[in-house]
Amino acid sequence: MRVLTYAVLMTATMLSTSLPAKADTADMKIAFSNNYAGNSWRQAMLKSYGAVVQKAVDDKIVGAADIFTTADKEVPTQAAQIQNLILQGYNAIVINAASPEALNGAVKQACDAGIVVVSFDGTVTEPCAYRVTVDYRALAAHQIDYMAERLPKGGNLLEIRGVAGTSVDDDFHNGFLDGLKKHPEFKVVNAVEGDWDETTAQKAVSTVLPSLPEIVGVVDQGGDGYGAAQAFNTAGRPTPIIIMGNRQDELAWWVQQKKANGYATWSASSAPGVSSLAFWVAQQVLNGDKTIPHDLTDPYLAFTQDTVDAALPKIPVGGVATVEYSQADAKAIIEASKKK
């Protein structure tokens, strides 16, 4: 399981510098196809991507880097979008995919047209594509490990799932199943869809709470923590251990509760800036590096009871803890992956 604290990752990033690679990619165009922008993580992801690629264009590392987002989370819409990008002559397409398998046909069309495809976060399984992933399955299993450390007698858990049909949601759910096999003293008594969004999660949890027995913990995929806490509070139910997902509002709530009554939990998520890492992977492939592995793993960010207070002021209000990757960061991650 690869995990970096926020402070360590930020320090590594600040020490890195961009390395120009103008010769081979200065006239090339990279498109970004995103399937969903309806929560703070996705908004931070787009912001990080936009900032990094604009600088790459200004520095003449690439000729253009355009962002396209579908509003409905539907696979056919994103597939049609990818097909349009092929016709528009982009050299590479970065994808946050609505489905791991259902977009494979469009992705294969892009590869057959000589277009580099890099998927991240929501990845695709088409072999010709590159995948930049966080080990969400291990992250989810660690949530159950954490619950076991805090609650050795076990108890009932509530699972909050993400956007249905995505590889992220599948990986998290399978990770929870892994953790439950290891710790059978816990039982998931219900699961709701939160779409990685506080408001959606709050409504979903509020709907099922009246029918649930005592809940000792909430396991989720990020973006759900504060919404779940609000639902339990409104229902007059005791607040269980709720795993957080690095959003500023939920970390602020955690710190507030920590000071008020010693509330303790754990928070982890991928950095939204992983989008910028995917961009640099595409640029490096276009730049001629044919030895880049098709599967690269990025560590996730985590906060503990001891680190959350110092980290909170550095996260924008309404935002998400993140880091933006430079070309040098990407090269280091690529080289580390080659050595595995």
Q: What is the DSSP string of 235-250?
A: TTPPP-EE-B-SBHHH
Same fold, 16-134+271-299+324-339 and 136-269: yes
Span 161-165, mean pLDDT? 93
Q: Out of 42-56, 59-73, 86-100, 304-318, which region has the weakest mean confidence (pLDDT)?
A: 59-73
14 vs 55: which has the higher pLDDT: 55
Span 60-79, mean pLDDT? 90
Nearest residue to 36 (alpha-carbon basis) of 94, 75, 8, 5: 75
Span 66-82, mean pLDDT? 89
CATH of region 136-269 = 3.40.50.2300
Q: What is the pTM of this model?
A: 0.83
Q: Are 217 and 157 in contact (CB under 8 A)?
A: yes
Instruction: Report d(CA 307, CA 320) in Å as an integer.
Output: 16
Q: Is the model's pLDDT at 10 over the cut of 60?
A: no
E strand or H helix that includes residue 189: strand 186-193
In CATH, the architecture of 16-134+271-299+324-339 is: 3-Layer(aba) Sandwich (3.40)
Q: Are 246 and 303 in contact (CB under 8 A)?
A: yes
User: Where does the pLDDT of residue 340 fall: very low under 50, low under 70, confident under 90, or very high at 90 and above?
Assistant: confident
> Tell me, what's the pLDDT at 5?
42
Question: pLDDT digits over 28-51, tens only?
Answer: 999 999 998 988 899 999 999 999
> Tell me, what's the pLDDT at 9?
43
Q: Is the model's pLDDT at 234 over the cut of 80?
A: yes
> Tell me, what's the pLDDT at 324?
92
Domain residues of the chain, as ranges? 16-134+271-299+324-339, 136-269
**Distance between first and last Cα of the chain:** 14
> Tell me, what's the pLDDT at 16?
39
| Residues of the chain above pLDDT 90, percent | 85
Q: Is the model's pLDDT at 312 over the cut of 90?
A: yes
Span 175-191, mean pLDDT? 98
- Cα dihedral 45, 21, 11, 271, rounded to 10, equals 20
Length of the chain counted residue by residue: 340
> Tell me, what's the pLDDT at 71?
66
| Residues of the chain above pLDDT 70, percent | 93
Distance of CA 246 to the CA centre of its chain: 11
Residue 88 is which amino acid?
Answer: Q
User: Where does the pLDDT of residue 17 fall: very low under 50, low under 70, confident under 90, or very high at 90 and above?
Assistant: very low
